[in-house]
Amino acid sequence: MYLIKIPKIIKIFKKDLIWDMPGEEKNIYLTFDDGPEKDVTPQILDILDCYEAKATFFCTGSKADKHPEIIDKIKKNGHSIGNHSYSHLKGTKTSTLLYLADIAECAEILKTNLLRPPYGKITRQQKNSIKKQYKIIMWSVLPGDFDRRVPKEMILYRASKYTKRGTIIVFHDNIQAKEKVIYTLPRYIEHFGNLGYKFAPITEELFG
């Protein structure tokens, strides 16, 4: 089970994590987890380029190791990179020592202080250690493109229904989500673009 829209109470209770990016401008923050994937990420980059939209890619170190050319293209196209651990470990199922080592291994490759915990799962001890060095970026909308039970049309509906100014939305650039994200992304961008929204990357500079 997963929450499509993060309730306000969770954002208040876990206010040391970043759930959205409030501000005066009509910005939406596209994020992509689990890549880079050679059969998915380049197609997403092409869609983003077509609409002049920027995004943030939370990449696993193991895949970044295999596809440095895609990492280079992400950066060259003006998008941001975030740490999504090296091995995509679930923090609540992993010792703190191993978890931190896995994050550090990814950091050696990606060199960013933006981090998203895989599955959004992280213990308090892990969080307290990591937040000294990283901005922990969560999300406000999770439409579920990874969920095989949900049709692509519903992914678009969920994404559109819950998005507002400052939303951080999660899609996935992996094989499992490919059909749904490739269907949803251009329609989602076009819809909100027509409403005057811009798609901005999450950058380290935004946090001072």
Q: Calculate the alpha carbon distances from 3 to 78, 151, 160, 162 in Å.
A: 30, 17, 15, 12
Q: Are 2 and 142 in contact (CB under 8 A)?
A: yes
8 Å CB contact between 114 and 134: yes
Q: Is 137 helix (H, G, I), strand (E, B) or coil?
A: strand
For 125, phi then psi, to 5°, come to: -65, -45
Which residues belong to the active site?
Answer: 33, 172
Q: Are 11 and 19 in contact (CB under 8 A)?
A: yes
User: What 3-state DSSP class applies to 188?
Assistant: helix
